[in-house]
Structures are given as structure tokens and as C-alpha cells.
């Protein structure tokens, strides 16, 4: 969750991407820590794939897109960095409070998993709403997806492997495509500012 | 016997639509055959009380075609046939192919389509077909209103008419669909035994009220009727408005009524009658003035219907029957004299090219037929004996007087209603004295009025037919009473047949006597004038050295006192530049009565809606970030709703 706040607070794109990568690795390790007593090959495979995908492949793709577009800073966000931080902190507190109100199974009720997941989703939203550059938005989307994945960990034993890998593949391909689109936007408009795309609304 | 007549009517109208573009004579023949067939069928149904019913294998929109002609629909069908036929003859001369080469054929097509669709509306007993035919008739009427579409005010009037009609159709769509959902079928029949349908009446009142031009819903009526070609104004006012009345009468007879319905209808009727005539007094445009009188007369009809509903709610009191009979007879009468007046106004417009009363004057000598027939219609619409307007208003009065004799709340409502009805009649008389005086008497106020020529035989013939109808109902009301009574019995069978009220037959005789007396007096005066010779002199030969036509009373000055009484409602716009000093050089005064409901209520409301929707359109600006924010807000709102709702 600290990583979420880091992602909100930074204006440098490389550190944003690093935060996303670290979060991916942490997510990958999470099932191993949670289920170390009943470790089986399925959980291990999911964990390894997550670390590889979210920790290495996706950040690498993002860095490439960033280099191709030759930008590394988010300069004029819709929501300022300090206020995003405050919003993120508020969101985290709200998430903890909200998780108490949810009708959860008793074995999940005590953990920080659910509030963490909700806080990540909120952070992802704040990034998506508050940032202008396409790459920051992709990172927001990834953090949002991480939150959903964290929620899915509650069900890791009942989710088929195929579904897990399908989601992972989806995200990777999505980021890949966005990388290409970012490149195209950069060439066409000489900027990655999504505000300039408003004429496409009708 | 009815079936072949209806078939002739339908085939004639369809053939006339096909022939309209190429063969105007064939078109006229088709329309007249259709009108004659419809009139014959209606007369048969009214004189025998026979209910004709016909189901076909043919389906339209998945519903089998099902027609029915009972006395109530026959009453309206007779009016439609008469005006449809007379208007077609009139229109041949009024909107002829030489003067309007580009729109004459579309006038013919739309006229046939309008008459045919209105006929289907009257005959069908299927809700879906009712709606389809009503909508088609609205469209044909729209094209007829905008025949002269080069002028922008005609286009604006047509647009307003179309918008108001669509609002009405929306209400009626909801009405018919809800009825179909609750009864499980589109078939219409008496549903008195299902009290849960009662609230639907309010939808019908809104929809048919808009069609009929009830007081606060009449906003479209004056401009549409004033700007349409005159024979179109005649059918719009004489028949199309009555379709709204037909709907109200039909469904108030078939559906169970909410207990307040009668009071509301009667109240709306009284306010339409008084305010309609008050607005009419403020008008300077001949056809616009007539249009406001339609609002007034619709009000009189609704007073009859409203008190009939009240009577039905109070244990079928007998006085309700008189009130409704008066209202229904007034449907005929208003159809006849208002069409006659619009025909005559059209004849004036045709001859002079203007509807402004302040540019007319002195037309009686130049257009004696038009002027006399207009005067006949004016006497009828003012409710003066011995013409038909008096008969129907008198029946309504009788109903109201009987209601005051009955104990209870109805008495307290009937007394003011009767008084206000009297006020309406007096104001209408004042208004038509003004019209006849300004337009037909005095000296011509403009070149156009001085050069006016009497219209041709087709227009005069159509006016004569309608004038004869007015005289016939006025002199022999007893002949028409059984027909109206049959329609009333279809509406509420409980009242049952009863003999002609004695007063009605004596009224008829009184009218004949009055007419003979008046004719005798006129003949005597005429003879005296011929024997003694007439001496002509200057009108104001005492101080006015050179009287000019501009010194005559104008329409505005004639009615200014009465306008003053109603100024708080009419809100006339005045611009005055008073004469100043001893020898004033210039002075001016103009007064204009706007359509107050439209300009003070509907248009501001429309502007508010416009502003809100323009602001709402700003929400869609293409920024992905904000769209996501909307999503988040929506989710949060849902979460709050779940959390709060979960507690309860």
C-alpha cells in the first residue's frame, strides 16, 4: 500500500513504472507467503507467472514506450501530487473502514487483503482520473488491475489456472497494444497529452 | 344498409387520394361520394339507433380491423362528412390550381387523407388503429396548415401545431398502452366494471384536451388556425378539435371515472369559455379571433360533458342528460357555424388579401353574400335566437338550472357556471358586433378593401349549405333531438329514453315565429325605404370638415373597455406616444394581445429546459479522465445506496 502512495506522489515516470513493477513482484510473492504450508505446483506456477509478467515484462514494455515517446515527467496533472496523496490516504482509510462493513468469510475478515485490494483499486482510479499522460494512465490501469488480482487471491484455490493465466495474458497484451498506441499518438500529435484527444468524442 | 354506404364512403375517399394529383374533377367526385356515403350511414345510424359492426380478416399491425358505428360516432361522422364535402367544394375555388400550381395537388391529397383518417378514428374500436389513424390525420393536417410554407409565420405555426400534437399523442400512447396492458387486448369496449382503470382518464384528458384546445392547452390553436388556408381552418376548427371531444366523450362513457373528473372537466370548460372569448376580444386578426372563439365553444361543450359526469357520479341524476345533450348538439352547431365563419373569413381574405381588421371595412356592399352569411354565423355563435347556437346553449342552461334545483354540491357549482356561461355569451356577442361592424360596415379603410369582389359560386355554395344547416337546427330542434338523445344513451344507457322536453318543441315554434316576425319587419322596412326613398348625407356633419375612413372606430377601440377588465389575464402589450403640447405634431398608440399562456409560461419553461440541457451537454466533453470520475462517482453512489439500504 505504501507503493500506491509512492505511485501517487511521484511526478517522474520511471519511478512510477518502478512502483508498478515492485507492486507486481509483491503480488507474485504474496500467494507463496500466504499458502506456504499447502504449497502446490499450481500456486507456484501462478506466482512465478505473475512475477515474470507484472514484475518484468510489463515494466519493460512501458519503459520502451516511454523511451520511444521520449518523455519522463508528468508535468501538469488534473489533480496535483499532494492532493492525490491526500486523496489516496483518505481512500486507504475509507477502504479499511469499508472492508469492515463487508459481509466476508470469517477466515478473510481479519486480514489486510481486502482493504488493500480496495485501496489499490481506488489508487488506480485516482491515477486514471488525475493524470494526463497516456503512460501514467496505463500505470493507473495496472494498479487498478493489481487491486482486482489481490481480491482474486482470496479465491486462489478455486480459480482455475486457465482463468488466472488468461487474465495475466490479457493484461500483458493490453499493455503491449497500449505501448504501440502510445508510440502512434506520439508520432501523430507530437504529444502524449490525452486532453488533445477530446475532438474524438462524437 | 349501412355497410354499402360505409363502403362507398371508404372507396370514394381512397379513389380521391389516387385521383388527386392528376384529375381534380375526379378527386372532387370521390370526396363528395365519400362524404355522401358517410353522411348517409351516419343519418341511418342516428335515426334508427342501429349499431353497425364489422370485423375483417385483414390485420394491420397484428390487430384485426374492427369497425363499429353507433349513435355517438355517427354524430361526429355526420359533421365530418358535411364539412369534409363542403370544404372540398370551397377549396376548389379558394386554393385553385391556377393560383397555387405547386401546392394545389398536395392540398387535394392531404384533404382526402385527413378526412379519411378522421373517419377511421371515429369508426375503429381498436386502440392501436385509433392511434395510427389519429397520427396520420395529424400529419395530413400539418401539411394542410403549412401549404403556404413560403411565409415564415406559417412554418412556425405548423411547427407549433406538430409539437403540440405530438405531446398529445404521447399522452394518448401512454393511455392506450396502459389500457391494453391492463385489459390484455387493444380492443376497445365498455370497461365500466374495472375501477382500477379510472386514473387513466387523466391521461386521456391531457391528450384529448390538447387535441381539443382546452384553455391552458390551447397554445397551438390560434396560430395554426389563423395561418392555415381558410377551408383548412374550417375543418381544423369544425372537425379536428371535435375529435378531441369525441375521445373525451367516448372514453368517459367507457371507462370508470375518478370521482373528481366531472368537476375538473366542468371547471376547465368554464375557464376555456370565459378566457377564450376574452382573448378573442383582444385580437385584431380576423381569423385569429375566430380561432379563440373555438376555445370558447370547446369550453361550452365541456361544461355540458363535465356536468353530465358530475350527474353520473351523483347517482345518475337526470339533469346530466340535458347537459350532455346540449354539449353534443353544440358539437354539431359549433362545427357548422364556425366552419361557416371561417369560410366567410376566407372569402374576405381571398378578396382583399388581408386578415387585419383595421385594413378592412365597408365590405357589406361589395360582398353581400359573404357578409350576410358571416352575419348569420355571427348570430349563431353568439347564441342568439332563432339560430342553432341558442338551442344547444339553452339545453346546457336547462341542465344547469335543473342542477341548481337539485340539492347538494352540484347546485353550488351550477350557479356560477350558468352565470359565467351567460357572461361568455354576452362577450361573444360584443366580439361579433365588433367584427361585423369593423369588417363589413362603415367605409373601406384600405385600397384592398375598396376593390374587394364577391367570391364565386363554389365558395358561396359551400357557405350556403352550412348556413342552411344552422337555420335548420335553429328552427326545428325537435327533428334533431332524437339523434342527439341516442348518442347520449350510448354514453350512459342508464338514463334511458324519455320524451322530448316540452320546452324544446315550444322553443322550435317560438323560433319559427320569431323568424317570421323578423322577416316581416325586414320586408316592411324595405318597402318603406323604397317608397320613401333614401336621403344620403355626410355622417358627422358638425365640426368634421373632411371625415376620412381612418376616423372610424377601430377593432381595438371598440373592445378596449372589455379588454381593460381582463387586462390582468390578457396582459396586452401597449406602446403609446401621447400627444404633447398645444399643437401636437405626432402621436401613436399600438396595442397587441399576445398568446399569454405560450409567451409567459410555455416559452420560459422551454428556455429553462434548453439551458439545463445545454449545461448537461457540457458533461460530454471527451476527456477520458472525467468519464472515469463519473464511473467512480456512480460506483460510490451505488455503494452508499447499498450500505444505507442494507440497514433498512
User: For residue range B428-453, what is the model confidence (pLDDT) as tens digits?
Assistant: 999 999 999 999 998 888 888 888 88
**Is pLDDT at A1 greater than 60 in this prediction?**
no
Residues of B whose CB is below 8 A from A125: 628, 632
| B557 contact partners, CB below 8 Å, separation of at least 6 | none
- Note whether B625 contacts A98, CB cutoff 8 Å: no
pLDDT band at B223 (very low <50, low <70, confident <90, very high): very high
**Is pLDDT at A191 greater than 80 in this prediction?**
no
- Is B624 found in the same domain as B514? no
Q: Strand, helix or coil at B441?
A: coil
Residues of B whose CB is below 8 A from A101: 643
- Reading the block at residue A61, the C-alpha cell is 514494455
| A51 contact partners, CB below 8 Å, separation of at least 6 | A24, A25, A28, A29
Residue of B nearest to A122 (CA): B632
| B171 contact partners, CB below 8 Å, separation of at least 6 | B203, B204, B206, B207, B210
Region B39-44: mean pLDDT is 94
Least confident of A143-157, B138-152, B501-515, B549-563: A143-157
- Is B476 found in the same domain as B625? no
Name residue, grid cell 501517487. Answer: A8
A199 touches chain B (CB under 8 A): yes
User: For residue range B375-386, what is the model confidence (pLDDT) as tens digits?
Assistant: 999 999 998 888
Residues of A whose CB is below 8 A from B622: 197-201
Parallel, antiparallel or unpaired: strands B52-60 and B63-69: antiparallel
Residues of A whose CB is below 8 A from B621: 198, 201
Measured between alpha carbons, how far is A48 from B546 in angstroms, rounded to an integer? Answer: 114
Region B507-517: mean pLDDT is 90
pLDDT band at B426 (very low <50, low <70, confident <90, very high): very high
CA B195 to chain centroid: 32
- Is B624 found in the same domain as B484? no
- Note whether B625 contacts A132, CB cutoff 8 Å: yes
Least confident of B314-318, B502-506, B537-541: B537-541
- The C-alpha of B138 sits at a distance from chain A's nearest C-alpha, in angstroms, of 34
H-only helix segments in B436-566 = 447-450, 457-475, 477-491, 502-532, 555-558, 560-565
User: For residue range B242-277, what is the model confidence (pLDDT) as tens digits?
Assistant: 999 999 999 998 988 888 899 999 999 999 999 999
> Is the CB of residue B258 less than 8 Å from the CB of residue B356?
no
**Is pLDDT at B374 greater than 90 in this prediction?**
yes
- Is B312 found in the same domain as B449? yes
User: What pLDDT was estimated at residue B31?
Assistant: 94
Put simply, the chain B residues between 460 and 489 with a CB less than 8 A from any chain A CB are: none
Residues of B whose CB is below 8 A from A197: 622, 624
| B386 contact partners, CB below 8 Å, separation of at least 6 | B474, B475, B510, B511, B512, B514, B515, B518
- Is B307 found in the same domain as B451? yes
**Burial class of A82 by CB neighbour count within 10 A (0 to 12, 13 to 18, 19+):** exposed
Put simply, the chain A residues between 119 and 138 with a CB less than 8 A from any chain B CB are: 125, 128-132, 137
| Residue B637 located in a structural domain | yes
pLDDT band at B177 (very low <50, low <70, confident <90, very high): very high
Instruction: Please state, rounded to an integer, the average pLDDT across all residues of chain B.
Output: 89
Nearest to A129 among B620, B625, B643 (CB): B625
- Note whether B621 contacts A201, CB cutoff 8 Å: yes
Residues of A whose CB is below 8 A from B632: 125, 129
Nearest to B622 among A125, A131, A198 (CB): A198
**Burial class of B491 by CB neighbour count within 10 A (0 to 12, 13 to 18, 19+):** buried
Instruction: Please state, rounded to an integer, the average pLDDT across all residues of chain A.
Output: 76
- The C-alpha of B160 sits at a distance from chain A's nearest C-alpha, in angstroms, of 30
- Note whether B625 contacts A200, CB cutoff 8 Å: no
A103 touches chain B (CB under 8 A): no
Q: Is the model more confident about B83 or about A154?
A: B83
pLDDT band at B305 (very low <50, low <70, confident <90, very high): very high
**Is pLDDT at B509 greater than 70 in this prediction?**
yes
**Is pLDDT at B477 greater than 60 in this prediction?**
yes
| Residue B415 located in a structural domain | yes
User: What pLDDT was estimated at residue B72?
Assistant: 92
Residues of B whose CB is below 8 A from A199: 622
User: What pLDDT was estimated at residue B403?
Assistant: 86
| Residue B138 located in a structural domain | no
The percentage of residues in chain B with a pLDDT greater than 90, rounded to a whole number, is 53
Nearest to B625 among A128, A199, A201 (CB): A128
| Residue B622 located in a structural domain | yes
Residue of A nearest to B629 (CA): A129
- Is B403 found in the same domain as B289? yes
Measured between alpha carbons, how far is B330 from B328 in angstroms, rounded to an integer? Answer: 5
Number of structural domains, chain B?
A: 2
Nearest Cα neighbor of A55 from A30, A92, A81, A72 is A30
Residue of B nearest to A91 (CA): B636
Give ∠ CA B313-B316-B322 in degrees, rounded to 5: 110
Q: For residue B590, list its beta bridge partners.
A: B575
Distances (CA, A) of B629 to A79, A129, B406: 12, 6, 68
User: What pLDDT was estimated at residue B339?
Assistant: 95
- The C-alpha of B557 sits at a distance from chain A's nearest C-alpha, in angstroms, of 57
- Is B632 found in the same domain as B491? no
- Is B483 found in the same domain as B622? no
**Is pLDDT at B241 greater than 90 in this prediction?**
yes
Measured between alpha carbons, how far is B55 from A144 in angstroms, rounded to an integer? Answer: 65
Region B359-370: mean pLDDT is 90
- Reading the block at residue B378, the C-alpha cell is 355571427
Pick from A38-42, B51-55, B86-90 the range whose average pLDDT is largest: B86-90
Put simply, the chain B residues between 607 and 636 with a CB less than 8 A from any chain A CB are: 620-626, 628-629, 632
Region B41-70: mean pLDDT is 89
Residues of B whose CB is below 8 A from A185: none
Q: How far apart are the first and last CA of chain B?
A: 68
User: Chain B interface, mutation test: which of A129, A136, A144, most B Cβ atoms within 10 Å?
Assistant: A129
> Is the CB of residue B119 less than 8 Å from the CB of residue B165?
no
- The C-alpha of B621 sits at a distance from chain A's nearest C-alpha, in angstroms, of 6
User: What pLDDT was estimated at residue B539?
Assistant: 63
> Interface pTM (ipTM) of the complex?
0.73
| Residue B232 located in a structural domain | no
Nearest Cα neighbor of A125 from B359, B118, B481, B631 is B631
B644 touches chain A (CB under 8 A): no
User: What pLDDT was estimated at residue A2?
Assistant: 60
- Note whether B643 contacts A78, CB cutoff 8 Å: no
**Is pLDDT at A200 greater than 60 in this prediction?**
no
- Is B638 found in the same domain as B512? no
pTM for the full predicted model:
0.80
H-only helix segments in B49-123 = 71-94, 104-123
User: What pLDDT was estimated at residue B648?
Assistant: 46
Q: Could you tell me how many helices (H) and strands (E) chain B has, helices first?
A: 27, 4
pLDDT band at B332 (very low <50, low <70, confident <90, very high): very high
Omega of the bond prior to B386 within 30 degrees of 0, cis?
Answer: yes
Region B374-398: mean pLDDT is 91
User: For residue range B116-146, what is the model confidence (pLDDT) as tens digits?
Assistant: 999 999 999 999 999 999 999 999 999 999 9
- Note whether B639 contacts A98, CB cutoff 8 Å: yes
pLDDT band at B300 (very low <50, low <70, confident <90, very high): very high
| Residue-range definition of the domain harbouring residue B314 | 259-496+504-518
- Note whether A198 contacts B620, CB cutoff 8 Å: no
The single-letter DSSP state of residue A195 is: G
Measured between alpha carbons, how far is B166 from B163 in angstroms, rounded to an integer? Answer: 5
- The C-alpha of A184 sits at a distance from chain B's nearest C-alpha, in angstroms, of 18
Measured between alpha carbons, how far is B151 from A57 in angstroms, rounded to an integer? Answer: 71
A75 touches chain B (CB under 8 A): no
| Residue B130 located in a structural domain | no
> Is the CB of residue B502 less than 8 Å from the CB of residue B265?
no
| Residue B294 located in a structural domain | yes
- Note whether A129 contacts B620, CB cutoff 8 Å: no
Tally of CB atoms within 10 A around B59: 9
A91 touches chain B (CB under 8 A): no
- The C-alpha of B643 sits at a distance from chain A's nearest C-alpha, in angstroms, of 8
User: What pLDDT was estimated at residue B90?
Assistant: 94
> Is the CB of residue B324 less than 8 Å from the CB of residue B305?
yes
- Is B335 found in the same domain as B458? yes
> Which residue, B462, B484, B518, sits at the end of a domain?
B518
A78 touches chain B (CB under 8 A): yes
User: Chain B interface, mutation test: which of A79, A88, A201, A202, most B Cβ atoms within 10 Å?
Assistant: A201
Q: Could you tell me how many helices (H) and strands (E) chain A has, helices first?
A: 9, 0
| Residue B579 located in a structural domain | no
- The C-alpha of B577 sits at a distance from chain A's nearest C-alpha, in angstroms, of 54
> Is the CB of residue A138 less than 8 Å from the CB of residue A62?
yes
A vs B: CB pairs below 8 A: 32
Nearest to B622 among A98, A128, A199 (CB): A199
Measured between alpha carbons, how far is A24 from A27 in angstroms, rounded to an integer? Answer: 5
Residues of B whose CB is below 8 A from A137: 624-625
Q: Is the model more confident about B542 or about B33?
A: B33
- Is B635 found in the same domain as B513? no
Residue of B nearest to A140 (CA): B625
Residues of B whose CB is below 8 A from A194: 623-625
- Is B634 found in the same domain as B488? no
pLDDT band at B192 (very low <50, low <70, confident <90, very high): confident
Amino acid at each position: 500500500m505504501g507503493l500506491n502512495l509512492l505511485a501517487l506522489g511521484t511526478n517522474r515516470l520511471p519511478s512510477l513504472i518502478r512502483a508498478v513493477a515492485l507492486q507486481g513482484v509483491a503480488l507474485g510473492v504474496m500467494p507463496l507467503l500466504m499458502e506456504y504450508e499447502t504449497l502446490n505446483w499450481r500456486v507456484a506456477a501462478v506466482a512465478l507467472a505473475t512475477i515474470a509478467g507484472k514484475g518484468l515484462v510489463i515494466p519493460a514494455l512501458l519503459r520502451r514506450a516511454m523511451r520511444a515517446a521520449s518523455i519522463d515527467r508528468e508535468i501538469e496533472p488534473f489533480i496535483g501530487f499532494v492532493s492525490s496523496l491526500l486523496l489516496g490516504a483518505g481512500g486507504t482509510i475509507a477502504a479499511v473502514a469499508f472492508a469492515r462493513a463487508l459481509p466476508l468469510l470469517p477466515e478473510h475478515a481479519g486480514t489486510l487483503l481486502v482493504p488493500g485490494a480496495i485501496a489499490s483499486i481506488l489508487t488506480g482510479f485516482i491515477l486514471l482520473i488525475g493524470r494526463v499522460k497516456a503512460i501514467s494512465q496505463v500505470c493507473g490501469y495496472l494498479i487498478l488491475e493489481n487491486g482486482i488480482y489481490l481480491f482474486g487471491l482470496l479465491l486462489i484455490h478455486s480459480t482455475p489456472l486457465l482463468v488466472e493465466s488468461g487474465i495475466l495474458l490479457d493484461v500483458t497484451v493490453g499493455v503491449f497494444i497500449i505501448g504501440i498506441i502510445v508510440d502512434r499518438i506520439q508520432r501523430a500529435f507530437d504529444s502524449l497529452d490525452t486532453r488533445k484527444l477530446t475532438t474524438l468524442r462524437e | 344498409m349501412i355497410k354499402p354506404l360505409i363502403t362507398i364512403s371508404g372507396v370514394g375517399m381512397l379513389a380521391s387520394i389516387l385521383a388527386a394529383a392528376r384529375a381534380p374533377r375526379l378527386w372532387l367526385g370521390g370526396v363528395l361520394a365519400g362524404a355522401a356515403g358517410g353522411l348517409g350511414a351516419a343519418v341511418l345510424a342516428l335515426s334508427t339507433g342501429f349499431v353497425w359492426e364489422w370485423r375483417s380478416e385483414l390485420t394491420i399491425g397484428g390487430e384485426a380491423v374492427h369497425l363499429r358505428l353507433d349513435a355517438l360516432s355517427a354524430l361526429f361522422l355526420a359533421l365530418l362528412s358535411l364539412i369534409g364535402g363542403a370544404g372540398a367544394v370551397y377549396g376548389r375555388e379558394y386554393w385553385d390550381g391556377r393560383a397555387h400550381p405547386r401546392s394545389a395537388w398536395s392540398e387535394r391529397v392531404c384533404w382526402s387523407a385527413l378526412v379519411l383518417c378522421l373517419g377511421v378514428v371515429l369508426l375503429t374500436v381498436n386502440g392501436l388503429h385509433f392511434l395510427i389513424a389519429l397520427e396520420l390525420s395529424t400529419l395530413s393536417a400539418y401539411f394542410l396548415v403549412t401549404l403556404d410554407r413560403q411565409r415564415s409565420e406559417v412554418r412556425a405555426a405548423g411547427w407549433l401545431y406538430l409539437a403540440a400534437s405530438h405531446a398529445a399523442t404521447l399522452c394518448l400512447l401512454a393511455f392506450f398502452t396502459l389500457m391494453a396492458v391492463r385489459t390484455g387486448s387493444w380492443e376497445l369496449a365498455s370497461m365500466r366494471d374495472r375501477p382500477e382503470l379510472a386514473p387513466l382518464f387523466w391521461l386521456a384528458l391531457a391528450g384529448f384536451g390538447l387535441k381539443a384546445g382546452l384553455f391552458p392547452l390551447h397554445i397551438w390553436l390560434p396560430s395554426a388556425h389563423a395561418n392555415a388556408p381558410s377551408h383548412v381552418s374550417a375543418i381544423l376548427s369544425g372537425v379536428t378539435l371535435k375529435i378531441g371531444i369525441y375521445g373525451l366523450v367516448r372514453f368517459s362513457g367507457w371507462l370508470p371515472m375518478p370521482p373528481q373528473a366531472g368537476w375538473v372537466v366542468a371547471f376547465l370548460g368554464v375557464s376555456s369559455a370565459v378566457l377564450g372569448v376574452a382573448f378573442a376580444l383582444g385580437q385584431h386578426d380576423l381569423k385569429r379571433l375566430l380561432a379563440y372563439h373555438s376555445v370558447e365553444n370547446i369550453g361550452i361543450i365541456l361544461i355540458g360533458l363535465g356536468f353530465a359526469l358530475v350527474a353520473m357520479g351523483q347517482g345518475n341524476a337526470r339533469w346530466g342528460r340535458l347537459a350532455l345533450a346540449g354539449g353534443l348538439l353544440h358539437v354539431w352547431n359549433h362545427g357548422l357555424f364556425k366552419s361557416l365563419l371561417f369560410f366567410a373569413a376566407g372569402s374576405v381574405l381571398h378578396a382583399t388579401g388581408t386578415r387585419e381588421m383595421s385594413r378592412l371595412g365597408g365590405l357589406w356592399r361589395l360582398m353581400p353574400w359573404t357578409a350576410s352569411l358571416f352575419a348569420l354565423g355571427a348570430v349563431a355563435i353568439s347564441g342568439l335566437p332563432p339560430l342553432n347556437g341558442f338551442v344547444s346553449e339553452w339545453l346546457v342552461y336547462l341542465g344547469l338550472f335543473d342542477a341548481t334545483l337539485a340539492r347538494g354540491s352540484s347546485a353550488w357549482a351550477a350557479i356560477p357556471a350558468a352565470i359565467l356561461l351567460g357572461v361568455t355569451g354576452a362577450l361573444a356577442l360584443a366580439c361579433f358586433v365588433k367584427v361585423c361592424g369593423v369588417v363589413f360596415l362603415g367605409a373601406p379603410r384600405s385600397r384592398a378593401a375598396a376593390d374587394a369582389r364577391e367570391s364565386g359560386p363554389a365558395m358561396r355554395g359551400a357557405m350556403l349549405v352550412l348556413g342552411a344547416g344552422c337555420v335548420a337546427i335553429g328552427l326545428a330542434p325537435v327533428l334533431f333531438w332524437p339523434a342527439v338523445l341516442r348518442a347520449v344513451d350510448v354514453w350512459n344507457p342508464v338514463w334511458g329514453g324519455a320524451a322530448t322536453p316540452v320546452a324544446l318543441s315550444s322553443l322550435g315554434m317560438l323560433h319559427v315565429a320569431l323568424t317570421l316576425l323578423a322577416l316581416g319587419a325586414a320586408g316592411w322596412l324595405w318597402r318603406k325605404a323604397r317608397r320613401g326613398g333614401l336621403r344620403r348625407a355626410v355622417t358627422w356633419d358638425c365640426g368634421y370638415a373632411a371625415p376620412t375612413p381612418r376616423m372610424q372606430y377601430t377593432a381595438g377601440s371598440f373592445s378596449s373597455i372589455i379588454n381593460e377588465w381582463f387586462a390582468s389575464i390578457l396582459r396586452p402589450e401597449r406602446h403609446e406616444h401621447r400627444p404633447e403640447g398645444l399643437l401636437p405634431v405626432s402621436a401613436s398608440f399600438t396595442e397587441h394581445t399576445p398568446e399569454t399562456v405560450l409567451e409567459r409560461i410555455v416559452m420560459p419553461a422551454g428556455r429553462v429546459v434548453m439551458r439545463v440541457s445545454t449545461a448537461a451537454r457540457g458533461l460530454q466533453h471527451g476527456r477520458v479522465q472525467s468519464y472515469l470520475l463519473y464511473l467512480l462517482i456512480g460506483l460510490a453512489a451505488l455503494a452508499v445506496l447499498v450500505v444505507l439500504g442494507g440497514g433498512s
